[in-house]
């Protein structure tokens, strides 16, 4: 039996192999062609049968949901050990290796709930301790089970960082978490404070942060698992630990949950640490600008013009469009690493959420090859994305009157906000000479109904980033 993972967020799913079904376990089976789930007891063993239409046999999307549902139902039934017949999850293009990683990732993600701040019930929290895999499992599939559990652990850590209330997750505290995780996987870390940022000329980060008593941070982690001279993939993540909107204060029904505005920063940090724990033969750098966006007498104002690290000036039309402002400095800083690819991840726009609903993040790039690659990797990972336009027309609509660029549409239009945000970021990478991908995870910040994931942060797009790192040849 495999050892339980240490340092798990809530509960670590342990995978074992064998035919024996313990008396206190529940056996999960799939019933293709049936329309109703069934729960029964046979020979003292609880059996949970999940219905799935025959036409969805071999459908990875459907199987992901079922894997999570299996854990959801078992936990509801008070079960701590579950068994599956591995062959039921394979076939029709689903190889044992693909099935193993999918099962490990999704079952472990469903085995998570943010209860750190809740009083435990008398009977304790019900989580699955052990998954027993029955049937023939080849060594490569076992390796993928182990890999999938590690990836899910870092997805769940991303979720916990994002779920933590803003009062307990300031820029300094986020940096402390990053330092602790970095020590765990032996990754070098640097954390730059206010004085460092002033010396760098990071006027965009400092401008957004100036309304808060919490000092801004620039968190940088470097994992070097590849060749010495190999150009790294640089992951840039928005780290707004709480976003009030600043002077353009958010309405009350939109401000709740803004502790999750650092989800992009959490995702890129945890992806790098995951790559390190897996020992991936890649060079990866994570850059996270961390700030609070607060209203006060010292806040930056609508109409202010900030000069960022790039030298470009940013005309502030709306203080609630702060994420792209701090990312402009982070993207400029990323150039120093001479990257092979830069990917930024941010809960950037409600417009992306309006366009795509709750089931896919928006991606933007000027590189068609990168876009197609991202779409394929996302589909395989389960962190689904869809491409939205990044055209010259949008660049015209962010040209400044008193600064070089505006941080929102200069026509005061409510439409196309996700593309305007991407066009803004594009100004800081377009002449860099390396490919760039922007992932707006606002649609996927929180889990959606019917996903069989706990309420709160979804942990996107860690699974996608892990496959992107693997594929970055």
Q: What is the DSSP string of 177-243?
A: HHHHHHHHTT--EEEE-HHHHHHHT-HHHHHHHTTSSSPPEEEEEEEE-S-TTPPPEEEEE-EEEEE
> Can you tell me whether residue 300 is helix, strand or coil?
coil
| H-state helical runs in 252-345 | 252-255, 263-278, 323-334
- Which of the following is catalytic: 75, 147, 153, 324? 324
Residue-wise burial string across 362-371, b where 16 or more C-beta atoms lie within 10 A, e elsewhere: bbbbeeeebb
324 flagged as catalytic? yes
Taking only Cα atoms into account, the Rg of the chain, rounded to an integer number of angstroms, comes to 23
Which of 57, 97, 66, 74 has the alpha carbon at shortest distance from 13?
74
Which of 440, 303, 444 has the alpha carbon at shortest distance from 383?
444
**Which residues lie below 8 Å from residue 97, measured CB to CB, with a gap of 6+?**
138, 140, 141, 144
Structure tokens of 434? 């390396």
347 vs 265: CA distance, rounded Å = 9
- Which of the following is catalytic: 56, 142, 250, 312? 250
| H-state helical runs in 249-322 | 252-255, 263-278
Is residue 183 within 8 A of residue 207, CB to CB? The reply is no
Q: What is the DSSP string of 2-31?
A: PPPPTT-SS-PPEEEE-S---TT-EEEEEE
Q: Which residue(s) pair with 362 in the sheet?
A: 386, 440
238 vs 264: CA distance, rounded Å = 5
Between β-strands 26-32 and 81-85, what pairing exists: parallel, antiparallel or unpaired? parallel
190 flagged as catalytic? no
Structure tokens of 59? 């459908």
58 vs 293: CA distance, rounded Å = 46
Question: Annotated active-site positions, please?
Answer: 250, 324
């Amino acid at each position: 039996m495999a050892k339980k993972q240490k340092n798990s967020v809530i509960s670590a799913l342990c995978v074992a192999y064998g035919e024996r079904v313990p008396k206190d376990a529940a056996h999960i089976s799939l019933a293709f062609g049936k329309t109703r789930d069934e729960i029964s007891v046979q020979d003292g063993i609880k059996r949970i049968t999940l219905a799935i239409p025959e036409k969805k046999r071999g459908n990875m999307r459907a199987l992901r949901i079922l894997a999570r549902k299996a854990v959801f139902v078992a936990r509801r039934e008070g079960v701590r050990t579950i068994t599956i017949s591995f062959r039921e999850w394979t076939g029709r293009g689903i190889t044992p290796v693909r099935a193993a990683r999918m099962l490990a990732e999704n079952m472990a993600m469903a085995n998570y709930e943010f209860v750190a701040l809740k009083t435990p019930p008398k009977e304790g929290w019900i989580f699955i301790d052990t998954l027993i895999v029955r049937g023939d499992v080849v060594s490569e599939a076992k390796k993928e089970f182990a890999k999938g559990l590690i990836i899910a652990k870092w997805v769940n850590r991303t979720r916990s960082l994002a779920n933590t209330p803003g009062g307990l997750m300031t820029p300094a505290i986020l940096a402390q978490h990053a330092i602790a995780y970095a020590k765990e996987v032996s990754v070098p870390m640097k954390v730059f404070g206010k004085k460092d940022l002033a010396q760098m000329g990071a006027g965009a980060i400092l401008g957004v942060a100036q309304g808060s008593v919490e000092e801004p941070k620039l968190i940088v982690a470097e994992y070097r698992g590849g060749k010495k001279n190999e150009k790294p993939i640089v992951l840039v993540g928005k780290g707004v630990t709480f976003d009030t909107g600043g002077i353009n204060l958010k309405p009350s029904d939109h401000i709740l949950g803004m502790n999750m505005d650092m989800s992009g920063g959490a995702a890129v940090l945890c992806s790098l640490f995951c790559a390190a724990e897996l020992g991936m033969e890649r060079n990866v750098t994570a850059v996270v600008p961390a700030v609070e966006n607060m209203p006060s007498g010292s806040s930056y104002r609508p109409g202010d013009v900030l000069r960022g690290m790039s030298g470009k000036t940013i005309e502030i039309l709306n203080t609630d469009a702060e994420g792209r402002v701090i990312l402009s400095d982070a993207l400029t800083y990323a150039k120093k690493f001479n990257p092979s690819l830069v990917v930024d991840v941010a809960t950037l726009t409600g417009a992306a959420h309006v366009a795509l609903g709750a089931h896919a993040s928006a991606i933007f790039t000027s590189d068609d090859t990168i876009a197609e690659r991202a779409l394929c990797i996302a589909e395989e990972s389960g962190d689904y994305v869809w491409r939205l336009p990044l055209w010259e027309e949008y660049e015209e609509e962010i040209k400044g009157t008193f600064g070089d660029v505006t941080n929102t549409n200069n026509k005061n239009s409510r439409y196309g906000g996700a593309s305007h945000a991407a066009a803004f970021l594009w100004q800081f990478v377009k002449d860099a000479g390396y490919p760039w991908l922007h992932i707006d995870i606002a649609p996927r910040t929180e889990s959606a109904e019917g996903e069989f994931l706990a309420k709160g942060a979804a942990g996107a797009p860690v699974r996608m980033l892990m496959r992107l790192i693997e594929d970055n040849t």
